[in-house]
Amino acid sequence: MKLNSPLQVYKYLPQTNCAECGEATCMAFASHLIDRSKKIDDCPPILKENFKKKYLELQTLLAPEIHEITIGTGEHAKRIGGDDILYRHQLTFFDPTALAYDVWDTMPENDLVERVNKIQNFRKFYVGKFLKVDMVAVRCVSGDALKFAAAVRKVSETTKLPLVLCSFDPAAIKAALDVVKDKNPLIYAATEKNWIEVSELALNYKVPVVLYSSDLDKLKSMALTFREMGIKDLILDPGTYPQGKQLKDTFERFIKLRRAGIKEGQKDIAYPIMAVPLNAWLVFKDAVAASYWETVLASMFTVRYGDILILHSLEPYAMLPEVHIRDTIYTDPRTPVKVAPGVNEVGSPTKDSPVIVTTNFALTYYTVESDLSSNKINCYLAAVDTDGIGVEAAVAGGQLTAAKIKDTFQKANFEFKDKTSHSTLILPGLAARLQGDVEDVTGLRVMIGPPDSGRIPGWMEKNWPPKPK
């Protein structure tokens, strides 16, 4: 964005401090526009006619450096691009890299449906949510437009995930577009050879389109040409070579494009970038080797500026790291991920159920919670407010203390005498050193659990219920 201080933004706001936006002052609202936690439309007065000019100016000035593009429709629609920075500590990255997994039109129908289901059903629980993948890329391998269109139809009947229609043959793309034109698919790709026909399709069907060339001059020329024709939703594929010097050059192209777009404000190429880690399969025939190398390429281009990836391996050892590295890079570094402190019920606890203490760091809390609930352990789980810090660091840093633990139960009106038959609480193994303090401060019996909450079930078998004193 072109503005970088709240003061600059403030000049465009109504400056009445009416607080309708939920902020006390226009200045406070301005700082939220800068850090992108609020949108201009959250200020009702500026939407009025008399502010129209300022509104429009502000909208242009606040637009992200990298053009934002939506692929697909409805709840599964995916936004990519939208970035303003080169390094995550400078703010945060927006619009997580879209992961598109491939199917192809020469697959038998049953296999095709099964593969699509595998893609759309993939999930990995992580800090209170499921990590999932985003799109299906349909490749035209047959060279037959009708066959391609039929495969695309089958895929679109099977999933609501956005589609990427992959063919260098404009006739094939057109046949597929006729089938899914209402679903805002991404078309891949316009090249030096076919761009005239593909641009015609992008215009007629109003769909986002990928431009492909590993020559950055050509890529820029195409981008300029398409833009001139009024096609704005462009994605750049600068070619993903899987090995050797060619891979080194590929990495360089990604850095160059993004630096030009963000640091130098070169609007002409400030579009989302696509990488094709699938190309690892062009050189590795062994499935494990290919999956590994594909995951390496996917991770590298998630860290360095890939906005959408085309992938092939559905092996869990490829998909798990892929969704995790994406989450790693796109987690907002400004806010530790935490849960609300308090005492929660897991399952349906009774008076004989254990009371377990953990911290309110989301990763810690959800790990423990899922270990308990998936093992059907009914209990009370207390999330102590450690400012979103995990157990060991919170003990070391003084956010997990006996006083804090006591406070958590008090604030929740949790009376051990009424709620339990045992007046006992269980501390994490990594907080063992708090045992004495907690006993003194709360007057309860304190047991020390294992270091890893995954071992609580085994530990319970031996240690629960506690032996009467």
Piece of 38-46, 269-277, 314-322, 420-428 that binds ligand B12 (CB under 6 A): 420-428
Site for ligand SF4 in 11-30 (CB under 6 A): 13-14, 16-21, 23, 26, 29
**Could you tell me the smallest distance in angstroms from the CB atom of residue 351 to ligand B12?**
19
Residue type, 5: S
Task: Choose the one of another protein, ligand B12, ligand SF4, none that binds residue 16, judging by a C-beta under 5 to 8 angstroms depending on kind.
Answer: ligand SF4
**Could you tell me the smallest distance in angstroms from the CB atom of residue 7 to ligand SF4?**
14
H helices of 70-229, in order, are: 109-121, 145-158, 170-180, 195-205, 216-228
Smaller CB separation from ligand B12, 62 or 400: 400
Site for ligand B12 in 388-417 (CB under 6 A): 388-397, 399
Helix or strand run (H / E) with residue 363:
helix 362-374
Piece of 37-45, 148-156, 223-231, 386-394 that binds ligand SF4 (CB under 6 A): 37-45
Residue type, 115: R
Other CB atoms within 10 A of residue 333 CB? 13
| DSSP assignment of 398-424 | TSS-HHHHHHHHHHTT--HHHH-SS-E
Task: Choose the one of ligand SF4, ligand B12, another protein, none that binds residue 358, judging by a C-beta under 5 to 8 angstroms depending on kind.
Answer: ligand B12
Rule CB under 6 A: say whether 379 interacts with ligand B12: no
Smaller CB separation from another protein, 75 or 217: 217
| DSSP assignment of 78-131 | EEE-----SSGGGS---SPPEEEEEEETTS-HHHHHHHHHHHHH--EEETTEEE
**Could you tell me the smallest distance in angstroms from the CB atom of residue 398 to ligand B12?**
7
Other CB atoms within 10 A of residue 263 CB? 11
How far CA 160 is from CA of 120, 220, 367, in Å, comes to 9, 33, 30
Rule CB under 8 A: say whether 371 interacts with another protein: yes
How many binding residues for ligand B12 (CB under 6 A)?
A: 30
Site for ligand B12 in 226-255 (CB under 6 A): none
Select from 20, 68, 114, 407 the one that contacts another protein (CB under 8 A). Answer: 68
Site for ligand B12 in 436-465 (CB under 6 A): 449-450, 452-453, 456
Using only C-alpha atoms, what is the Rg of the chain?
A: 27
Smaller CB separation from ligand B12, 277 or 428: 428
Look-up of token digits 């709620």? 419
Residue type, 133: V
Q: Are 52 and 28 in contact (CB under 8 A)?
A: no
Pairwise CA distance, residues 274 & 78, whole Å: 14
Look-up of token digits 């006083």? 403
Residues interacting with ligand B12, by CB under 6 A? Answer: 336, 356, 358-359, 361, 363-364, 367-368, 388-397, 399, 426-430, 449-450, 452-453, 456
